[in-house]
Structure 1
Amino acid sequence: MKIDRLSESAGVSKHPFPFDPTYGMDLDDLLKVSAPDNAPGDFAEFWQGMYRRALATPVQPRLGGKAGTTADGLDVFEVSFTSLGGVRIGGWVVAPADGVVERGFVVGHGYGGRGEPDPWLPVARAAGIYFVARGLPTESLLPGVPSEAPGHVLYGIESRDDYIIGGCVADIWCAATALTELFPATARRLDYTGVSFGGGTGALALPWDERFASAHLMVPTFGNHPLRVTLECVGSGAAVRGRYLEDPRVLEVLAYFDAATAARHVRIPVQAVPALFDPSVPPPGQFAVVNALAGPVEVRVATAGHFADYPEYEQEMLAAGRSMREFFAA
Structure 2
Amino acid sequence: MASFAHDFPFDPAYGRTLDDLRAVDAPPAPDGFAAFWRGRYEAARAVAAEPEIGPLEDERDGVRIHGVTYTSVGGVRLGGWLVLPAAGEPVGHGFVVGHGYGGRQEPGPDLPLPLPSAAAILPCVRGMGARGLVAGIPDEADRHVLHGIASRETYVIGDCAADLWCAASALQELFPGLAGAGRLGYLGESFGGGLGALALPWDERFGAAQLTVPTFGNHPLRLTLPCAGSGESVRRYHRGHPEAVDVLRYFDAATAAGFLERPTLVAAALFDPSVPPPGQFAVYNALAGERELLVLEAGHFEHAGLGQDVAALGAARRRFFGEWLGR
Q: Is the 8 A contact 1:127 1:186 kept in 2?
A: no
Partner of 2:3: 12
Question: Separation in 2 of the partners of 1:239 and 1:296?
Answer: 33
Partner of 1:54: 44
**Counterpart selection for 1:96 from 85, 93, 113:** 85
Partner of 1:291: 285
**Counterpart selection for 2:69 from 76, 80, 105:** 80
C-alpha displacement of 1:234: 1.3
Partner of 2:314: 321
Q: Aligned AA for 1:57?
A: V
C-alpha displacement of 1:129: 0.3
The reply to whether residue 144 of structure 1 matches residue 169 of structure 2 is no
Question: Separation in 2 of the partners of 1:153 and 1:51?
Answer: 20
What TM-score do the two structures reach when normalised by structure 2? Answer: 0.95
Number of equivalences: 318
Question: Separation in 1 of the partners of 2:308 and 2:279?
Answer: 25
Partner of 1:236: 230
User: RMSD of the TM alignment (CA)?
Assistant: 1.1
CA distances 1:205-261 after superposition (whole Å, capped 9, x unpaired): 010000000000000000111110011111210000001111111000001100001
C-alpha displacement of 1:68: 2.5
Higher relative contact order (CA 8 A, sep 6+): 1
Q: Secondary structure at the match of 2:297?
A: strand
C-alpha displacement of 1:184: 1.9
Q: Secondary structure at the match of 1:127?
A: strand
Unaligned 5+ residue runs, structure 2?
none
Q: Is the 8 A contact 1:12 1:304 kept in 2?
A: no
**Counterpart selection for 2:172 from 172, 180, 190:** 180
Q: Aligned AA for 2:98?
A: G
Partner of 2:58: 68
CA distances 1:132-180 after superposition (whole Å, capped 9, x unpaired): 1100112111112110100000000001100000000001100000001
Identity of aligned residues (%): 56
C-alpha displacement of 1:185: 2.5
C-alpha displacement of 1:187: 2.9
Q: Aligned AA for 1:291?
A: N
Unaligned 5+ residue runs, structure 1?
1-9
**Counterpart selection for 2:27 from 36, 47, 57:** 36
The reply to whether residue 312 of structure 1 matches residue 302 of structure 2 is no
The reply to whether residue 120 of structure 1 matches residue 112 of structure 2 is yes
Partner of 1:25: 16
Question: Separation in 1 of the partners of 2:18 and 2:42?
Answer: 38
Question: Separation in 2 of the partners of 1:177 and 1:229?
Answer: 34
